[in-house]
Amino acid sequence: VSLPNGFEMVVGLEVHTELRTATKLFCGCANRFGAEPNTLVCPVCLGLPGSLPVLNERAVELAMAIGLALHSTIAPSTFHRKNYFYPDMPKDYQISQYDLPINSGGYLDLPDGSRVSIERAHLEEDTGKSTHLGGTGRIHGADRSLIDYNRSGVPLVEIVSGPDMRSADQARGYAAELRGILIATGASDGRMEEGSMRIDANVSVRLAEAPFGTRCEIKNLNSLRSLHRAIDYEAARQVALITSGGTVRQETRHWDEMLAETSTMRVKEEAEDYRYFREPDLVELAPSDQWRDRVAESLGPMPAARRLVLRGLLSGPTGPQIESIDVVVMLDLDAYVLAVHELGGDVTIALARASNEVAASHDRREHLTTSAFAETVLMEQRGELSATQAKKVLGELLTNGGDPAAIARTKGFEQLSDDSLSATVEQFITQHPDEWQRYRDGDEKLAQFFIGLVMKATSGQANGKTVIAELQSRR
């Protein structure tokens, strides 16, 4: 969507990602989503008097992995305290990185060919989670507030891009590509719906080539769809404001998904003075070259390289196939497709099943081995399973795992004998002489008519290709 009156938008994103560590950033409490409130807590992550933070080594490795994937410079860094009062922040300061982040500089290349610069990617701790009940539903004006400190101290990396994006599409593309990288490095599960990846968008507008305009920051966008809609809305709001003679005020804004609009949270004059200073309870973080190299060696290929590999398996991939490849790579399902390819199977079928059936249940993928997936695809390819049956077998594999052939037998997906299928086809030809004549005269659409009848009669167990072969042999 281009903006009216020669305006262009300027977008920079701040992405917060929770790291997939076993324990929190500064204590030994489990880093786990969904536990009973306030059961994953200790003196450190509750900020009890006298407690002290101890840095999690694994969190540092994952932060370095992100930095390496984003071509950042990893340098000796320090921690600072960001001071402000908020009930779900138990120390009333957040331990974060300030002037010396672990990762600085870098870039991310997007599938559309554009490059977005990275300013920094630093470590910090998450806060607890507040729930405001009754009244306004916001902290001021709620009847009461509940706080769950399970999330307090969960490790975060904040990745700050340059103000390089010029459309909501590009911003969404950046966020999607970054998400793929976070998953590929093992740093994050990328689950935006669980809040493990949260995005703040800085949006401004300007007449082309003019200096940057005043920006507004939209906080806490928790889906790629919200990100796209919020940026488009905000840019349009700013253009409308300027063209009607107003000026944009620097402020923090809230995106309301239901109303599909942004609204003011606080203006710059109300901005907090965070009084950053060196965290005296922690020492300098200076990873050795050897440690950094070990992390670099452990990194697998990033999404861009993996997309190229998958595209290379096809001779001139079609648009839908490219989209399937994007989904497969984003969700890190490449191994399934590659397993089919290694067995000489049909990559097109593999991509279709991986990007649809497996993608839809990818959070249960641990049940589905690559070999079971490959076997299922090969059974479909050989005509031993219809497409419908293959999908059902995959569904069972994703739920309980197991052996595809055994599942097919249990479900009664025995291959129909060619004789019995032949008899069924013969029967329908006899029953529908007019349609059969039109098919013989060259109306190919009628093939679908007969396939439909056979499928209905066999409860979907017939193989469509075999039915066509039967029809053609009688033509």
Partner 1 sequence: VRSAIEIAAAINAGASAAEELERSMAAVAARNGELNVFLHVDADGARRRAAAVDEKVSRGEYAGALAGVPIALKDNLCTEGVPTTCSSKILEGWRPPYSATVVDRLVAAGAVPVGKTNLDEFAMGSSTENSAFGPTRNPLDPARVPGGSSGGSAAAVAAGMTPVALGSDTGGSIRQPAALCGLVGVKPTYGLVSRYGLVAFASSLDQIGPFANSVSDAALVLEVIAGHDPRDTTSLPEAAPSLLAHVDDGVAGKRVALVRELLDGSDDDVTASVLRAADVLREAGAEVVERSIPELKLGLSAYYLIAPAEASSNLARYDGVRYGLRVDGDDVTAMNEATRTAGFGTEVKRRIMLGTYALSAGYYDAYYGQALKVRAQMIAAFARAYAEVDFLLGATTPSVAFAFGTKTKDPMAMYLNDVFTIPTNLSGEAAITVPFGTGEAGLPVGVQLLGPGRSEARLLAAARVLERAEDRS
Which residues of the chain form contacts with partner 1 (CB under 8 A)?
43, 46-55, 81, 83, 85, 87, 90-93, 139-141, 145, 147, 273, 275-277, 280-283
Smallest distance from the beta carbon of 63 to partner 1, in angstroms? 17
Q: Which residue's CB is nearer to partner 1, number 37 or number 105?
A: 37
Smallest distance from the beta carbon of 84 to partner 1, in angstroms? 9
Smallest distance from the beta carbon of 115 to partner 1, in angstroms? 34
* Alpha carbons 86 and 274: distance in angstroms, whole number: 12
Q: Which residue's CB is nearer to partner 1, number 54 or number 308?
A: 54
Is residue 128 packed enough to be buried (19+ CB in 10 Å), middle (13-18) or exposed (0-12)?
buried
Closest C-alpha among 3, 474, 437 to residue 204: 3
- CA angle 322-226-124, nearest 5°? 95
* Alpha carbons 89 and 45: distance in angstroms, whole number: 9
Q: Which residue's CB is nearer to partner 1, number 21 or number 56?
A: 56
| CB contact set of 424 (below 8 Å; sequence gap of 6+) | 454, 457, 458, 462
Q: Which residue's CB is nearer to partner 1, number 50 or number 245?
A: 50
Q: Which residue's CB is nearer to partner 1, number 95 or number 393?
A: 95
* Backbone Cα Rg of the chain: 28
* Alpha carbons 74 and 92: distance in angstroms, whole number: 29
Smallest distance from the beta carbon of 123 to partner 1, in angstroms? 14
Q: Which residue's CB is nearer to partner 1, number 85 or number 441?
A: 85
- Which pairing describes strands 261-267 and 93-96: parallel, antiparallel, or unpaired? unpaired
Q: Which residue's CB is nearer to partner 1, number 143 or number 418?
A: 143
Q: Which residue's CB is nearer to partner 1, number 273 or number 444?
A: 273
Q: Which residue's CB is nearer to partner 1, number 283 or number 423?
A: 283
| CB contact set of 150 (below 8 Å; sequence gap of 6+) | 32, 35, 37, 38, 39, 40, 41, 128, 129
Smallest distance from the beta carbon of 271 to partner 1, in angstroms? 10
Smallest distance from the beta carbon of 147 to partner 1, in angstroms? 8
Smallest distance from the beta carbon of 22 to partner 1, in angstroms? 17
Is 128 within 8 Å of 149 (Cβ atoms)? yes
Overall size of the chain counted in residues: 475
Is 398 within 8 Å of 364 (Cβ atoms)? yes
Q: Which residue's CB is nearer to partner 1, number 147 or number 339?
A: 147
Smallest distance from the beta carbon of 283 to partner 1, in angstroms? 6
| CB contact set of 255 (below 8 Å; sequence gap of 6+) | 218, 219, 220, 221, 226, 229, 230, 233, 261, 262
Smallest distance from the beta carbon of 30 to partner 1, in angstroms? 18
Smallest distance from the beta carbon of 196 to partner 1, in angstroms? 25
